[in-house]
């Protein structure tokens, strides 16, 4: 298609900063760039009609790690690394809330609850509870983890929960919408349904080739997380997360965010429905994909856990199923770095995008000042 002189001049000429990806990282990167360079011309390129990865497809947990997840992390990270991970997640959540306001994203701190499937697993977690509380005390000033009874009457789990007293929840659709509104009000242009195919760099700028047009930009920021390796050679694996939601259920008393099996399963009450996702650990290989979709093995297990554990005495119907694509790796720390003179990336959020996305976007924008 031939674009008009006006279109080329307004949307594709004299661009200071181009951001690939309109999820939580890309939008926060744009916010921070606009704050520091108010006169800059900024364009965000998004391959989907809506943000394509996981930013508006996740479960809306404002979390920073369940007790068993953090214990698990300590087997592959040092104490200092785990402390830094949690601190950054917490900082990122506070930044998200201050950027948009609790009301606009329906933030609620209803606590997080970890369900254990056996006495052994429960005791194993509890034996490390004090150590983890002590490790995190400088961040939270008090104990993060405590224990409570099975007040929601879940079946086939230990009769006591491990409680995260600081965990919250948000509406990720509202978060995505509010972030888009905020950057557009500042004059940032967002172009949807445009996929970046490649880019080349010379001494002065970058030439970006998309499926619609080729144009130049002074700086390029890549915020495509699970899709990063389509453009970069970084240690990021795509990881699909499958989710389902029930039809509304009368008198649904469940309140808070819930984790099962080291966080591989997670559920919550939203609008009197159960939103339930996870099961990637049933078939890691198949779920290492950037293709959206569902599989029988995971969907059947989600329905089975719903029937036997979460809603054992309640009839329910599944209304809708979907999936999101995360970016993971052998380390939980996000990759935020300068790749060349004019190219930067903020990727590999490790399934913690709601928590760290705002901070990663801000840090990505700050790279050009270093």
Are 114 and 164 within 8 A, CB to CB?
yes
Rounded CA-CA distance 323/56 in Å is 10
**Closest-CA residue to 278 (of 61, 70, 123, 105):** 61
Quick one: angle between helices 24-36 and 353-366, nearest 10? 30
Q: Name the CATH superfamily, with its identifier, for domain 238-326.
A: D-Amino Acid Oxidase, subunit A, domain 2 (3.30.9.10)
Terminus-to-terminus CA distance in the chain, angstroms?
39
Both structure tokens of 350: 């490790």
Residue 144, CA distances (Å) to 129, 130, 132, 216, 344 in order: 9, 10, 8, 48, 35
Global confidence as pTM: 0.96
3-state class (DSSP) for residue 132: helix
Gyration radius from the chain CA atoms: 21
pLDDT (0 to 100) of residue 1 = 83
Low-confidence ranges of the chain (pLDDT < 50): none
CA distance 45 to 210: 9
Residues 342/206, Cβ–Cβ less than 8 Å: yes
Tokens 């970006």 locate to 208
As its CATH architecture, domain 5-56+173-235+331-369 has 3-Layer(bba) Sandwich (3.50)
Residue 91: how many other CB atoms lie within 10 Å: 17
Contacts of 245 (CB under 8 A, 6+ apart): 270, 273, 274, 275, 276, 318, 319, 320, 321
CA distances from 167 to 60, 114, 130, 149 (A): 11, 11, 18, 18
Q: What ranges do the domains of the chain cover?
A: 5-56+173-235+331-369, 64-170, 238-326
Q: What is the pLDDT of residues 205-250, one digit of tens each?
A: 999 999 999 999 999 999 999 999 999 999 999 999 999 999 999 9
Sign of CA dihedral 330, 333, 338, 344: positive
Q: Which two tokens stand for residue 364?
A: 């990505």
The pLDDT of residue 263? 87
Residue 253: Cβ-neighbour burial (10 angstroms; 0-12, 13-18, 19+): exposed
List the beta strands (DSSP E) in 136-236: 145-149, 160-164, 168-169, 189-191, 196-201, 206-210, 214-222
Six token digits for residue 192: 């949807």
- Residue 60: CB partners within 8 Å, gap ≥ 6? 169, 170, 171, 172, 175, 268, 270, 275, 354
**Which tokens go with 125?**
């977690």
Measured CA to CA in angstroms, residue 152 lies from 75, 236, 255, 283 at distances of 32, 38, 9, 29
Tokens of 359: 């901070």
């Amino acid at each position: 298609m031939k674009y008009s002189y006006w279109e080329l001049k307004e949307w594709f000429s004299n661009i200071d900063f181009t951001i690939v990806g309109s999820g939580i990282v890309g939008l926060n990167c744009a916010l921070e760039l606009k704050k520091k360079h108010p006169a800059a011309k900024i364009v965000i390129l998004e391959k989907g009609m809506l943000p394509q990865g996981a930013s508006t497809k996740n479960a809306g947990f404002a979390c920073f790690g369940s007790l068993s997840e953090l214990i698990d992390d300590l087997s592959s990270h040092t104490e200092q690394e785990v402390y830094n991970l949690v601190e950054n997640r917490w900082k990122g959540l506070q930044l998200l809330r201050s950027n948009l306001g609790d009301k606009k994203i329906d933030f609620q701190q209803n606590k997080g609850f970890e369900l254990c499937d056996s006495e052994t697993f429960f005791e194993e977690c509890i034996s490390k509870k004090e150590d983890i509380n002590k490790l995190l005390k400088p961040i939270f000033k008090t104990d993060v983890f405590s224990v409570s009874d099975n007040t929601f009457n879940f079946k086939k789990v230990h009769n006591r929960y491990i409680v995260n007293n600081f965990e919250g929840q948000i509406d990720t659709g509202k978060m995505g919408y509010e972030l888009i509104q905020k950057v557009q009000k500042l004059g940032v242009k967002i172009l949807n349904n445009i996929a970046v195919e490649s880019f080349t760099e010379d001494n002065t700028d970058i030439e970006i080739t998309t499926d619609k047009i080729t144009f130049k930009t002074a700086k390029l920021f890549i915020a495509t997380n699970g899709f990063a390796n389509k453009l970069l050679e970084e240690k990021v694996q795509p990881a699909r997360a499958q989710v389902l939601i029930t039809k509304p259920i009368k008198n649904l008393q469940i309140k808070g965010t819930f984790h099962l099996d080291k966080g591989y399963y997670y559920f919550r009450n939203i609008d009197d429905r159960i939103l339930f996702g996870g099961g990637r650990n049933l078939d890691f290989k198949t779920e290492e994909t950037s293709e959206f979709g569902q599989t029988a093995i995971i969907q059947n297990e989600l329905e089975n856990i719903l029937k036997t554990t979460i809603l054992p005495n309640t009839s329910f119907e599944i209304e809708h199923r979907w999936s999101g694509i995360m970016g993971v790796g052998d380390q939980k720390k996000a990759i935020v770095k300068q790749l060349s003179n004019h190219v930067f990336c903020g990727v590999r959020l490790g399934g913690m995008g709601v928590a760290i996305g705002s901070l990663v976007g801000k840090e990505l924008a700050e790279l050009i000042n270093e």
